[in-house]
Amino acid sequence: NTFFQEGEIYVNAQVLKKISADEAYASKARFTTCNLDTPHFAFRTSKMKIINNKMGISSAAFPEFEGVPMPIGIPFGIFPLYRGPQSGFIAPAFTASEDFGLGLEGIGYYHIFNKNLDLTTRANLYSYGGYMVNFNSRFLKRYKFTSNLNLTIQSSRILNRGGISKEEFTKTSSFMINWSHSRDSRARPGTSFSANVNFGSTRFNQLLLNNPVQNFNNQLNSSISYTKDWRGKYNLTLNANHSQNNNTRLVNLSLPTMNFNVVTFYPFQKKDQVGSGKWYEKIGIGYSGNLLNQLSFYDTAFNIQRMLDTLQWGAQHNIPITLSLPSLGPITIAPSVSFEERWYGQRIFRNWNSAAKKVDTTIQRGFYTARQMAFGISMNTRVFGTYTLKSKDAKIIRHEVRPSLSFSYRPDMAAKYFYNTQVDTAGRVLRFSQFDGGVIPGFSEGAFGGIGFGIDNLLEMKMKDKADSTGKATKKIKLIDGFGFNSSYNLLADSFALGNFSFYARSTLFNKINITAGMNLDPYKVDAQGYRQKELAFDFKKLKFGRITSGNLAVSTSFASKSKDASDENGKDIPIDPFMTPDEQQRQLQFAQANPAEFTDFNIPWTLSLSYSLNFTRVLKPDFSGFKTETFSAISFNGDFSLTDKWKLGGNGGYDVSNRSLQQLSMFITREMHCWQLSINVTPIGLYRSFNITINPKSGILRDLRINRSRVFSNSRF
């Protein structure tokens, strides 16, 4: 017998004849991808030809497991031994769904045109008559750019069960276009171009099978960006953005958006500066400007003229003037002046129609401007305090306080843009701005001369470093990364001068538990109907410093046991090709999330990730009888653990604490079988309930040789 290896294939033949350095013939051969002396599986064939680094060709081949032959076979075999990508057919997978019927998924062909361009064509075919066709092409030039275009066309025929509809099937057509492009920074220094476009039908994600991540993705976003930098002095950015809500079916386009910035320069500074210079030499002037264009439409009623009627544009110019003054001891002082001008393409006027008893809205298109100025000065400092502990391990607690105080004045230059209008039959009058609803908001009315104040805190502790053998070394740990508040006071306001208080805190406990919290307080009382009163809501005896309006809390942590063996290769990372485009990498990650069993790391006995979020808001009741608290809280989890060295169980999901319901749950179990792997993925809760059982070789040559059983059950009625 002769035993040899060619690439990933191990061949054991009774007779071997090598006719050249690259070609060999084998008789009564057994070939496999298992590297054991007694392989777990193999294929037996009477004749076989091996062409080095090209392919292996066999006559009729019959599989065997643990030396036991199976009563099945293939008429011939062609096994690619190429190194690197090659054109060829893509084998399909079988599936079954209550909504779509029996399916053949992923059948296609991969073609390489040249070293820079390729095309992958795939199709899904279902017994109820639905289908999906996907075209994916990648075009790249090394040190120049990488571009990827993905087009998917879907025609769904969904079975109507339960007598909900008279029609037997619901027919839906949808499409999705994904384009990504990135240019290498070395191609043209000083400029960059990138694109990430995702555009398609709003129903597309809901109709995808075996993809719970995409089924719940109701938002599509796209961006195309070009930037130009002139040696750090000026920079220009051009953007085109797209956002699409799959629930409301509203599409928003912002194109183009232009931003031009001038980095702060010092016009009075001498070219050859000697010493610290005069105070006026530290006056800095900058500029930032942006132009916005926006239009919106519903994809259910798309019309070019109607879409153009929604077009709005606006521009904004800002010139900040700063002055860096020497520090007054520990206090840093920075005065500033800014001028801002905004351009608008339309004005809106509301008038009461006494005949129709309603408010009429008139839009005037043209070129309109508004201006504003602001003056300010800010002061910052840091104060430190320490407390020595008597503990053997904990040495010192260090408290850092960072107070900030700012004074600002903004004259009322926007009053002429406001007007009063009756809004109901009771004669109630409200005040509106001419520029309400614009792509650039209008300036706020009224002069502001106020104080902004806040305090940020940092708490650290110095303790003994137990890892140090000398027992003298210490280390710093953060007890609280930051906590504090900020607010403002308008010196010119005749009422409600004190602004809302915003409190926050963030910390990382034991380098494991991340905690962030926030709360907003309104310092003024409200009456029974919810209207603010001029009386402050402070009650120091009851430690009440205002009226809580909203708050949030987020806690997250993750744990993992130590690796059993750092050299163990059983762990299986998600295979991300560095030459993949961002869209391809995202799709690979989504596949891993939908099929976690195929990317299990047996080297780590267990992992666990938990997160909890809580948000609440005090809102006025519909009958104006007071306030109610709307709360939303949720728990998400993700983890796995090894039952044995070869079995692993895991899952992920989310629980809605507010509604006491499990929103999503996915579980998997996988079995490591040396050269094979068994994986079971189950999703019992979610938009699509499904299960999938797969047994496949690990070898890349035989990756399409798999036993697969899939079923999908839909909870939705389309």
42 burial via Cβ count (<10 Å: 0-12, 13-18, 19+): buried
Please tell me the predicted confidence (pLDDT) of residue 307.
78
CA geometry: angle 607, 612, 613, nearest 5 deg = 150
Which tens digit of pLDDT belongs to each residue from 398-455? 999 999 999 999 999 999 999 999 988 888 888 899 998 888 989 988 888 999 999 9
Who contacts 271 (Cβ-Cβ below 8 Å, separation ≥6)? none
The Cα 517–Cα 643 span in angstroms is 37
Percent of the chain with pLDDT over 70: 90
The whole-angstrom distance between residue 438's C-alpha and the CA centroid of its chain comes to 28
Q: How are beta strands 191-200 and 169-183 bridged, if at all?
A: antiparallel
The size of the chain, in residues, is 718
Task: List the structure tokens of 26.
Answer: 């084998």
Helix (H) or strand (E) holding 667: strand 661-673
pLDDT category at 577 given cuts 50, 70, 90 is very low
Number of domains within the chain: 1
pLDDT category at 555 given cuts 50, 70, 90 is very high
Percent of the chain with pLDDT over 90: 33
- Residue 401: inside a domain: no
- Residue 322: inside a domain: no
The mean pLDDT of 346-369, rounded to a whole number, is 92
State the sign of the Cα–Cα–Cα–Cα dihedral 599, 602, 603, 606.
positive
The mean pLDDT of 476-500, rounded to a whole number, is 90
348 or 531, which is more confident: 348
Specify the 3-state DSSP secondary structure of 60.
coil
Residue 603 has pLDDT above 70, yes or no: no
320 or 393, which is more confident: 320
- Residue 21: inside a domain: yes
The Cα 359–Cα 436 span in angstroms is 15
91 or 256, which is more confident: 256
The Cα 677–Cα 598 span in angstroms is 8
516 or 624, which is more confident: 516
583 or 7, which is more confident: 7
pLDDT category at 520 given cuts 50, 70, 90 is very high
Please tell me the predicted confidence (pLDDT) of residue 189.
86
Residue 588 has pLDDT above 70, yes or no: no
- What are the DSSP calls for 385-435, one per residue? EEEE---SSEEEEEEEEEEEEEEEEE----GGGEEEEE-STT--EEEEETT
Residue 293 has pLDDT above 60, yes or no: yes
Please tell me the predicted confidence (pLDDT) of residue 699.
79
- Residue 97: inside a domain: no
The Cα 484–Cα 434 span in angstroms is 38
The Cα 247–Cα 529 span in angstroms is 34
The mean pLDDT of 58-87, rounded to a whole number, is 82
Return the residue matching tokens 């797969």: 694
Which CA distances in Å does 538 have to 214, 495, 503, 515, 524? 48, 16, 16, 28, 8
The Cα 374–Cα 12 span in angstroms is 85
Please tell me the predicted confidence (pLDDT) of residue 495.
85
308 or 239, which is more confident: 239
pLDDT category at 594 given cuts 50, 70, 90 is low
The Cα 718–Cα 716 span in angstroms is 6
- Of 79-88, 152-161, 280-289, the range with the highest mean pLDDT is 280-289
Q: Do 372 and 443 touch, CB atoms closer than 8 A?
A: yes
Of 295-299, 302-306, 386-390, 606-610, the one with minimum mean pLDDT is: 302-306
Query: For 432-464, what is the HEC assignment?
Result: EECCCCCCCCCCCCCCEEEEEEEEEEEEEEEEE
Please tell me the predicted confidence (pLDDT) of residue 575.
47
Of 26-30, 110-114, 536-540, the one with minimum mean pLDDT is: 536-540
Of 113-117, 225-229, 473-477, 650-654, the one with minimum mean pLDDT is: 473-477
- Of 60-74, 213-227, 447-461, the range with the highest mean pLDDT is 447-461
Q: How are beta strands 117-126 and 101-114 bridged, if at all?
A: antiparallel
Residue 585 has pLDDT above 60, yes or no: no
Tally of CA atoms within 13 A in the half-sphere of 42 that contains its CB? 23
Q: Which of 598, 715, 602 is nearest to 668 (CA)?
A: 598
Q: Do 442 and 391 touch, CB atoms closer than 8 A?
A: no
Q: Return the CA Rg of the chain.
A: 34
Please tell me the predicted confidence (pLDDT) of residue 375.
94
The Cα 105–Cα 464 span in angstroms is 60
556 or 174, which is more confident: 556
Which CA distances in Å does 110 have to 3, 86, 89, 119, 133? 33, 8, 6, 6, 14
The strand pairing partners of 397, in sequence order, are 387, 461
583 or 29, which is more confident: 29
301 φ, ψ (degrees, to nearest 5): -135, 55
Return the residue matching tokens 């706020």: 444
Residue 598 has pLDDT above 60, yes or no: no
Q: Do 490 and 427 touch, CB atoms closer than 8 A?
A: no
- Residue 302: inside a domain: no
Domain extent for 10: 2-84
Please tell me the predicted confidence (pLDDT) of residue 46.
92
- Residue 121: inside a domain: no
Which tens digit of pLDDT belongs to each residue from 301-322? 667 777 778 889 999 999 999 9
The mean pLDDT of 76-100, rounded to a whole number, is 79
Q: Which of 159, 100, 106 is nearest to 133 (CA)?
A: 106
Task: List the structure tokens of 716.
Answer: 């939705």
The Cα 474–Cα 482 span in angstroms is 22
- Residue 71: inside a domain: yes
Please tell me the predicted confidence (pLDDT) of residue 369.
95
Residue 387 has pLDDT above 80, yes or no: yes
Q: Do 68 and 39 touch, CB atoms closer than 8 A?
A: no
Tally of CA atoms within 13 A in the half-sphere of 81 that contains its CB? 20
Please tell me the predicted confidence (pLDDT) of residue 591.
53
Residue 217 has pLDDT above 70, yes or no: no
299 φ, ψ (degrees, to nearest 5): -70, -10
Task: List the structure tokens of 421.
Answer: 């209008």
The Cα 268–Cα 250 span in angstroms is 51
CA geometry: angle 518, 625, 523, nearest 5 deg = 35
Average pLDDT of the residues of the chain: 84
Count Cβ neighbours within 10 Å for each residue of 411-449 and write b for 16 or more, e otherwise. eeebeebbeeebeeeeeeeeebbbbeebbbebbeeebbe
Return the residue matching tokens 């991969």: 110
- Residue 8: inside a domain: yes
Q: Which of 222, 296, 227, 295 is nearest to 258 (CA)?
A: 227
The Cα 221–Cα 214 span in angstroms is 14
Which tens digit of pLDDT belongs to each residue from 618-636? 888 877 677 888 999 999 9
Which CA distances in Å does 636 have to 274, 633, 653? 61, 10, 6
